[in-house]
Amino acid sequence: MTLKICVAQLNFCVGDMPGNAQKIIDAARTAYAGGARLLLTPELAICGYAAEDLFLRPSFIQACDDAVNLVARELAGLKGLTVVVGTPTHGNTGHGGGLRTKSMAVQQRHNAAKVLREGRVMETYAKRELPNYQVFDERRYFTPGQGVCVFQAGEGEDAISIGLLICEDAWFEEPARLAKAAGAELLAVINASPFHVGKGGERELMMRSRVQATGLPLVYAHLVGGQDEIVFEGHSFALQADGALAGRAESFKENLFAVQAERIPGTLKLVADIEPGRSNEADLWDALVLGVRDYLGKNGFPGAILGLSGGIDSALVLAIAVDALGADKVRTVMMPSPYTADISWVDAREMAQRLKVRYDEISIVPEFEAFKGSLAHEFKGLKEDTTEENIQARIRGVFLMALSNKFGSIVLTTGNKSEMATGYCTLYGDMAGGFAVIKDLAKTTVFKLARWRNENDPYGTGANPIPERVITRPPSAELRPDQTDQDSLPPYEVLDAILERYMENDQSVEAIIAAGYERAVVERVARLIKINEYKRRQAPVGIRVTHRSFGKDWRYPITSKFRA
């Protein structure tokens, strides 16, 4: 007595309800032909996650309803197949759900799932636990469900009672407990849980506690793909009733993940393939590659362009872009100034050759001298300072954006999290662009990941792409003679450790000092983070890979007198 379950770990596009519906239909037909009688799609699969304020549009909810009905009709002839489709639904009010005026809103729509079988909607389950932290805003759009959903999948002796949960439901005890009380023999959890380093292990650990509390096996169906700043890594899995790992799907790839549920005396046994464990660096690299590929691909950009300086940050972004898009869709431009070292030219050219990308050199010296000439009267008697440094960065930004406008490729910015935190970047200069690839990577992580990429070639685009000297030389913006980053910032090992404590984990200045860091350094870093909020508000969106990034999960006021 067995039931074959298929997890449709697929990459859906927000707002493409017809395309998403077709993906589900194709997956269902393939799974059915392979013997599956239960197909699980991820959370909100029909519309993609997360659709943000599109959820507030009644026409959007109606389009989701239409797409679910299309799936039901197209699969009506697959006798015995049950399909769970994640979708938003309106509540009791109908017409898209909720009451909205210019001054107030009462939500009546649900984050839900519909259980389809042979052309009919058999059950509708509304998510009970709505997350409203980190990147989540579900209480802005949805109201909690109150019900329990247990349905039969399979036929005759092979039928199994399935308890349906949606993502956050499974992080709390009550929804799973109620499902068991209603007769569930197996928990099916559909999810859209954004990636950060280590999140896959956290999920498995939490689901293991849920399994052990209920004594029920569990299948975790997860989304894969990039959506603006967030990435979903797949990593669907199955756990036995005792919490042991029964199976795990590949990460960062679409997969029709098969799980076989076999009834044995006293319980169900799950059988599936198990992807081997992965390093944090491998996960991080794949997340960045997928984030770039989907941001450009889903938004229709024909390629990418970036300023290649001969430094570590632009080198890493180039390697990521080539793995994501292929060398033929990536263009690099070296824009030397009077302060560009000869080794920067050499290393930039060499890296471009190693990765076989287009490489051009456009000097900014004539424009820089022209700016200084035009401003000579205004600046008479004043020493050169960051003003002249920023002019150089802004000339480069103008060049890159001009090439982007003319040829359609998006500019990838190359700033890292350490720079974004402290304001060691120039508005309308190196911050100018459309997508900030390493915005959530601390500088120390940039170096580690560059080392990892030189030792690994996961996409077959070339081994050892980053010249060794790029990794080992002291980092410099090269905007004045003999400049290094540490002229303006603490050593990155110290800076990044303070950032992790202060920015990511909300530790106070005094707590960080008590942990052994110098007061002057900690207070300076905290001040830099505070006074540069206005810059970060104007930065391009970038890929989130930590549990707290400078994006949706960082919402600080620009104007504030509070000192942490």
Q: What CA–CA distance (Å, rounded) separates 345 from 348?
A: 5
Joined together, the tokens standing for residue 247 give 């199976």
Q: Is 167 a catalytic residue?
A: yes
Q: What CA–CA distance (Å, rounded) separates 508 from 88?
A: 40
Catalytic residue from among 64, 167, 229, 233: 167
Dihedral over Cα of 534, 538, 541, 542: its sign: negative
Q: For residue 116, list its beta bridge partners.
A: 83, 121
162: alpha, beta or left? (left if phi > 0; alpha if psi -120 to 50): beta
How is residue 154 annotated by DSSP? S
Contact in structure between 257 and 249 (CB atoms under 8 Å): yes
Strands 224-227 and 218-222: unpaired
Q: What CA–CA distance (Å, rounded) separates 525 from 250?
A: 40
Q: What CA–CA distance (Å, rounded) separates 331 from 183?
A: 58
Can you tell me whether residue 339 is helix, strand or coil?
Answer: coil
Strands 304-307 and 410-413: parallel
What angle separates helix 492-499 from helix 443-455, to the nearest 10 degrees?
Answer: 110
Contact in structure between 189 and 218 (CB atoms under 8 Å): yes
Catalytic residue from among 4, 23, 114, 127: 127
Q: Longest Cα pair distance anywhere in the chain, in angstroms?
A: 91
349: CB partners within 8 A, 6+ apart: 334, 359
Q: What CA–CA distance (Å, rounded) separates 85 from 44?
A: 7
479: CB partners within 8 A, 6+ apart: 337, 339, 388, 389, 392, 393
Q: What CA–CA distance (Å, rounded) separates 200 from 490?
A: 33
Q: Is 43 a catalytic residue?
A: yes
DSSP secondary structure letters along 498-510: HHIIIIIS---HH
Catalytic residue from among 6, 43, 47, 64: 43
Active site residues: 43, 127, 167
